Amino acid sequence: MGSAAASPPPSGKLSQDELKRVAAHRAVEFVEPGMTLGLGTGSTAAHALDHLGDLLRAGALPGVAGVPTSLKTELHAARVGIPLLPLDAASGARIRLSIDGADEVDPDLNLVKGRGGSLLREKMIEGAGERFVVIVDESKLVPRLGCTGAVPVEVIPFGAPHTLGLICKVFDGLPGFHARLRTVVDADLGSAPFVTDNGNYIVEMFFEDGIRGDLQDISDRLLRITGVVEHGMFLGMATTVIVANKDGTVTALHRKSKLI
């Protein structure tokens, strides 16, 4: 990890949502006129969208456009007046900066993302951009990925239980490991598989005490399984992580360049 810088605390105690807003607003300070942005998904990224919309409407950021990482973000960005581009058009214009939240951040700035279900488009867009600024409140900092909840894996619906079995084999014998298909409660169907924006399903992997071992090797083994589309470990992708601390200070953690 690179350098860290902290700012003084605002007065009064901030809620978790207010901390998310503080981190999001700090990230938007990196946006310059004319930039094409990767627009993240989730409650933290939503604060960045709102703030960007305010600045665009005030005429402060002419020429800024965004590539949305989910259908939800596409609707939100359109509502607040952020001009949108599809990823294919944006690669010509270069995505200069992506701003998104994360579910977990480890000491090497590796991330778990996708508990909101948007990991595939997030990884495509944030992987294509030059800089990736992650915005989190302090609760997202973890000693190891997989400490606080599920690590999601997007799989094609065909044979999903079979693919789930193959994913479990990667972690054979690991105490406390289990995995399951993410479900939602549907008014008509009862329990039904969660379906991503890409029409796929999500397998959730759970670890008793986080993932121990070589993350890159685990990533490679997961991606070699036919039926797995992508997983929610974002390794070496974040260039800056902006952390809003419980005491109201903001810390920026930097990596010199993206590893992928």
Residue 98 or 163 having the CB closest to ligand 5RP: 98
Q: Which of residues 45-74 bind ligand 5RP (CB under 6 A)?
A: 45
Q: Which residues of 126-163 are buried (b: 16+ CB within 10 A; e: fewer)?
A: bebbebbbbbbbbebbbebbbbeebbbbbbeeeebeeb
Looking at residue 46, its amino acid is A
Considering only 38, 66, 114, 146, the residue that binds ligand 5RP (CB under 6 A) is 114
Residue 155 in tokens: 């799989």
Tokens 């759970």, located at residue: 206
Q: Is 115 in the site for ligand 5RP (CB under 6 A)?
A: yes
Q: Checking DSSP bridges between strand 36-39 and strand 95-100, what pairing results, if any? A: parallel
Nearer to ligand 5RP, 131 or 166 (CB): 131
Q: How far is the CB of 154 from ligand 5RP (least distance, A)?
A: 10
119 makes contact with ligand 5RP (CB under 6 A): yes
- Specify which residues 39 forms β-bridges with: 68, 99
> Is residue 113 at the binding interface for ligand 5RP, with CB under 6 A as the rule?
yes
* Span 75-104, contacts to ligand 5RP by CB under 6 A: 100-103
32 labelled catalytic: no
Q: Name the one residue in this structure whose structure tokens are 């071992």.
A: 213
Beta-carbon contacts of 128 under 8 Å, excluding residues fewer than 6 positions away, are: 38, 87, 90, 91, 95
Based on the shown chain and the rule CB under 6 A, indicate whether residue 129 belongs to the binding site for ligand 5RP: no
Catalytic residue among 18, 29, 74, 122: 122
**Closer by beta carbon to ligand 5RP, 68 or else 101:** 101
Q: How far is the CB of 82 from ligand 5RP (least distance, A)?
A: 17
- Secondary structure class of 253 (helix, strand, coil): strand
Integer Cα distance of 102 and 34 in angstroms? 26
Is 118 a residue that touches ligand 5RP (CB under 6 A)?
yes
Catalytic residues: 122
Binding site for ligand 5RP (CB under 6 A): 40-45, 100-103, 113-119, 122
